[in-house]
Amino acid sequence: MAEKRRLFGSFHVSNVEDLIGIEESVYSAPKLPKEIPETKVDKSVVREFGKEVKKKYFLLEDDFTFLNHGAFGSVMTPAMNATQAWQLFCERQPVRFIDRQLLSQIADVTRKLAAFINSNPKNVVLVDNVTTAVSSVFSSLELSSEDVVLHTAFIHGGIRSALRRTCCKTGAKSMEIPIHLPVVDEEEIVKTIETSLHETPAKLLIIDHISSVLAFIMPIQKIIDMCRLKGVQILIDGAHGLGSTALDMKALNPDYYTSNCHKWLCGPKGTAFLYVKDEHRQNTHSAVTSYGYGYGFNSEFSWVGTKDYSPFLGLSQTLDFWNIVEPEKIRLYIRDLLRKACNLLIKEWDTDLIAPLNMLAGMALIRLPNELFEGKEMIRYEDAEIIQNCLFNEYEIEVPIKAVNNQLYVRISVHIYNDLHDYEKLATSIMDICKSKTRAL
């Protein structure tokens, strides 16, 4: 380790490692400039959630029924206002902000986020998105032609591309674990992965916490424990995990876990985190190398060159909202509405789910009525696109349609700005399309 000094060419900001490492009992948060708005929550509005919350705390259009939160999330208004305020504050005196204030504010947000996921802040760094986090892990792993990386068949396309590039550079091999669909229960998944780990000596296993494509929760605690016993490192793509589930990093204890803050947490775009276990911190480096290299895990990720860091700082207001309203109250509303929406759609369409309700958090994959594709031998991506575009253009519903196992599914998302009327509209719109003689399928 290089000699400790104040970093990034600044003589006015303490070492990030020191700021992150201060015990909570003696830590003093930096003051917010008066230009940055504090988070205020109208508890009379958030008591019931639904449309009033949508009007007051989100920027979503009234005309559209938005059932695709799982795509890119939707930022809360307090976080957006704070982010923009930080941008303006920076440009009024850029050197003062970057040289004297930025890094202490980033360290403070990191500490707040770490507390939210029950982690030591030394194990957490802020990054732009899950893709950046995964690329950092891949570039830090010392893979060779003798190594095998296992992953499920439905990992995110961006992760798959990063893995393919890594394997091309290192000679490592990637092997896919098929998951039977529809999913019966989590034990079936555990046994499938256990068999693959037994048959294939692997250095790394990559799994989703919640599948972006199939929308169900993976039994990550059981899989983490299994990997630990077999000496296999595990990287969890938790893009949909933060907010929709109660994360406890000290209990989970994975090698690597990353999640977006702009999705279910509703933070600004360009915010995510990477958790790295103690034994890997020293050898895990940012995919972008800058002044912090060689001065510690947190220092290295805190500064990756001149860019707009205001989304990281606006994340503080998002965390304030969740802590004021109470995370479990938010998750309870989402789970309860998801259950009601699934039961409604299954009944109206006489169909089923791709996974049991007890394996769902904020999204679900529900099979569309057979009338939409009867007589077709092969269901293609283009068929799903036709239905999705029809819902968008003719019914003003934003929701993705998936072609899975030669059938069509809709992936619904639920958040605190939704209510059951949104899903009633989807149910009747799909039935209307079924009856239409002009449909293109």
Q: What is the pLDDT of residues 201-212, one digit of tens each?
A: 999 999 999 999
**Domain 109-277+307-322 maps to which CATH number in 3.40.640.10, 3.40.50.1980, 3.40.50.1820, 3.20.10.10?**
3.40.640.10
Phi, psi at 403, each rounded to 5°: -100, 110
- Of the two residues 86 and 293, the one the predictor is more confident about is 86
For residue 12, the model assigns a pLDDT of 58
Note whether 158 and 138 are within 8 A (CB): no
pLDDT band per the 50, 70, 90 thresholds, residue 327: very high
Domain with CATH 3.90.1150.10 in the chain: 327-435
Average pLDDT over residues 170-185: 95
Residue 6's pLDDT is: 54
Q: What confidence tier does 362 reach under pLDDT thresholds 50, 70, 90?
A: very high
110: closest CA among 228, 213, 16, 234? 16
CA distances from 160 to 138, 176, 280 (A): 12, 11, 22
pLDDT at 8 over 50: no
Higher pLDDT, 374 or 310: 310
Can you tell me the mean pLDDT for 243-250? Answer: 98
pLDDT band at 112 (very low <50, low <70, confident <90, very high): very high
Tell me the one-letter amino acid at 266. Answer: C
pLDDT of 423 higher than 60? yes
Q: Cα separation of 397 and 152, whole Å?
A: 31
Quickly tell me which residue has 């989590």 as its tokens.
186
2 pLDDT more than 50: no
pLDDT at 10: 57
Average pLDDT, the chain: 94
387 by Cβ neighbours in 10 Å (0-12 / 13-18 / 19+) ranks as: buried
| Residue 440 pLDDT greater than 70, yes or no | no
With 0-12 / 13-18 / 19 or more C-beta atoms within 10 angstroms meaning exposed / middle / buried, residue 87 is middle
Q: Kindly report, residue by residue over 392-417, the tens digit of the pLDDT.
A: 999 999 999 999 999 999 999 999 99
What share of the chain in percent tops pLDDT 90? Answer: 88
DSSP string, 242-283: BTTB---HHHH--SEEEEESSSTT---SS-EEEEE-HHHHTT
Q: What is the residue whose two structure tokens read 């030394």?
A: 122
Residue carrying the six token digits 């890997």: 280
Q: Is a pLDDT exceeding 70 seen at residue 438?
A: no
Query: Does a cis peptide bond (omega within 30 degrees of 0) precede residue 182?
Result: yes
Residue 4 has pLDDT above 90, yes or no: no
Please compute the mean of the pLDDT values over residues 56-79 and round it to a whole number. 97
Residue 338 has pLDDT above 70, yes or no: yes
**Confidence category of residue 374, pLDDT binned at 50, 70, 90:** confident
pLDDT of residue 375: 74
For 134, the token pair is 């995964």
Q: Which CATH architecture has domain 327-435?
A: Alpha-Beta Complex (3.90)
Q: What is the pTM of this model?
A: 0.95
Cα separation, 265 vs 256, whole angstroms:
20
DSSP 437: T
Q: Residue 1: is its pLDDT beyond 90?
A: no
**What is the reported pLDDT for 182?**
95
Does residue 9 carry a pLDDT above 50?
no
Q: Which helix (H) or strand (E) holds 66?
A: strand 65-66
pLDDT of residue 48: 86
User: Does residue 413 sit in helix, strand or coil?
Assistant: strand
Closest CA to 20 of 276, 370, 356: 276
The pLDDT of residue 136 is: 97
Residues of the chain with CATH 3.40.640.10: 109-277+307-322
- Mean pLDDT across the stretch 47-55? 93
Burial class (CB in 10 A: 0-12, 13-18, 19+), 198: exposed
Question: What pLDDT shows up at residue 14?
Answer: 62
CA nearest 367: which of 398, 428, 405, 408? 408
